[in-house]
Amino acid sequence: MRSKLFALSAAALLAAASPALAEGELNIYNWGNYTSPDLIKKFEAAYNVKVTITDYDSNTTALAKVEAGGHGFDIVVPTNSYVPVYIDKGLLLEARPDQMENFKNVSEQWKNVSWDKGRHYTVPWQWGTTGMAVNKSVYSGDVNTSAIFLDPPEELVGKVNVVPEMNDVMNLAIFYVGGEACTEDKTVLRKVRDLLVEAKPKWLSMDYGTTDKLSSGEYVATVNWNGSTFRARLNNPDVVYGYPKEGYPLWMDSVAILKDAKNVENAKLFMNFIMDPENAAMISAFARYANGIDGSEAYMPEDMKTAPEIVAPKESAAAGQFVPTCSPAARDLYTAIWTELQK
């Protein structure tokens, strides 16, 4: 009897709780530690919408989850190289942000991009680079090289972390051996594979959470993104960001609406919302990456205008390249190498 009453009242509680959660919702699927809480609060207040944010740590995980279906998300924020994959699979809603009110604020260079011609599907979120983050009190040598993780100097052996973001790691390694982005050249890839496998025992770990761990000193060197390193440096002045001279990837993350989204209207409101300069500045101020909206500089924190993580030094600027979407064959090869690396 008691347990039946128990079950009944619990069910009633559940039923009561559910409607309250269903009204005016927006479910965002984004990278971890990447969304400004202030931005969300502002959006929630402006449109009376309840926002939930779910984290993912890699593009592949996100795509796998979205493709599997039944996820419940409305918005996803993929990196540029993955956007065509999403579009080809029919996973994105053609939301036509280029026809939205705030689209005029998007910087010219980001208005028409190779991965989303005419911006029919996505809106810029943030963009940045991938490089090395090193604690200079432990290692004071040259940080502008991928050798930090591919052939660690003595002081850093056994202390380097590598973020398990396949694309970034593979690209850095490919550039290091002199290959081209999206190469399918097996000799190059063999060198890459051997290099990575040989370097792995010298790594500390392959994990995320770099911002906090760099700040606390738990990581003294890691493959990292520029904004994350910037934030770590604000907490721990010993952190420096290196632009690998062998070549480093440039990327942009964009906001897209999923085709099976349940809250399409709210998602469109959000898309328009973040194209406003003031709001774009909020996004950047939190994660410390550049955004693609004109006029946002006026609202961004001062230090972002001169920070070495945002404004690449002249000698390093040339080595950066935007990595396009690789062919399925290339992607399969990279996945195979990546899996081998996991042991």
Partner 1 sequence: MSSKPAKPFSIKHLPGFTTIALGCFVLLYAPIITMVVYSFNSGQSVALFEGFSVSWYFEAAKNELVQEAALRSLIIAACASGIATVLATMAALGTTRTRNFPGRTFIYLMINQPLMVPEVVTAVALLIFFASIKVATGYSGLAYLILAHAAFCVPFAYLPIRARMEGMDMALEIAAADLYATPWKTFRRVTLPLVAPGIAAGAMLAFVISLDDVIITEFVKSAGQDTLPTYMLGQLRRAVTPEVNAISTALLAVTVILLTAFFLLSGRNSPAGK
Partner 2 sequence: MSDIPTTNAQTTNARQLSALEVRAERERIKRNWLLSMPAMILLLLGASGPLLIVLVYSFMTPGDYSGVIWTPTIKAWFQIFFAVDIFDDTIGLADAHLTIFGRSVRLSLITTFLTLIIGLPTAYFIATRPGRQRTLWLFLITIPFWTNLLIRTFAILEVIRNEGLLNNLLRWLGVIDEPIQILYTDTAVLIGMAYVYLPLMVLPLYASIDRLDFRLVEAGYDLYANRWQVLRRVILPIIKPGIIAGSILVFVPSLGAYVTPRVLGGGKHMMIGNFIELQFGQGRNWPLGSSLSMLLLVIVAVALIFYVRAANRGGSDEQ
Residues in contact with partner 2 by the rule CB under 8 A = 58, 60-61, 63-65, 67-68, 85, 89, 158-159, 161, 164, 166, 186, 189-190, 193, 200, 203-207, 218, 328, 333, 335-340, 342-343
Q: Which stretch binds partner 1 (CB under 8 A): 68-76, 114-122, 171-179, 291-299?
A: 68-76
From candidates 184, 212, 238, 294, binder to partner 1 by CB under 8 A = 212
From candidates 36, 54, 60, 205, binder to partner 1 by CB under 8 A = 54
66 vs 85 by CB, closer to partner 1: 66
User: Measured between alpha carbons, how far is 68 from 58 in angstroms, rounded to an integer?
Assistant: 16
Q: How far is the CB of 299 from partner 2 (least distance, A)?
A: 37
The encoded tokens of residue 217 equal: 């000193």
Considering only CA atoms, which of 261, 257, 249, 281 is closest in space to residue 119? Answer: 257
Q: Which does 71 bind (CB under 5 to 8 A by kind): partner 2, partner 1, none?
A: partner 1
Pair type for strands 50-56 and 122-135: unpaired
Q: Which stretch binds partner 1 (CB under 8 A): 121-129, 202-210, 244-252, 294-302?
A: 202-210
| Burial class of 285 by CB neighbour count within 10 A (0 to 12, 13 to 18, 19+) | middle
**Of residues 137-156, those binding partner 1 (CB under 8 A):** none
Distance of CA 220 to the CA centre of its chain: 21
What b/e sequence results for 151-168 when a residue is b if at least 16 CB atoms lie within 10 Å of its CB, and e otherwise?
Answer: ebeeebeebbbbbbbbbb
User: Measured between alpha carbons, how far is 219 from 134 in angstroms, rounded to an integer?
Assistant: 8
From candidates 187, 216, 335, 339, binder to partner 1 by CB under 8 A = 216
Q: Which stretch binds partner 1 (CB under 8 A): 27-35, 180-188, 222-230, 306-314?
A: 27-35
Report how many residues bind partner 1 under the rule CB under 8 A.
34
For 337-341, which contacts have Cβ atoms below 8 Å and span 24 or more sequence positions?
337/170, 337/189, 337/192, 337/193, 337/196, 338/166, 338/169, 338/170, 340/193, 340/197, 341/193, 341/196, 341/197, 341/200
87 vs 189 by CB, closer to partner 2: 189
H or E element, residue 230: helix 226-235
Q: Which does 16 bind (CB under 5 to 8 A by kind): partner 1, partner 2, none?
A: none
Residues making contact with partner 1 (CB under 8 A): 1-4, 6-7, 10-11, 13-14, 17-18, 27, 29, 32-33, 52-55, 57, 68-73, 207-209, 211-213, 216
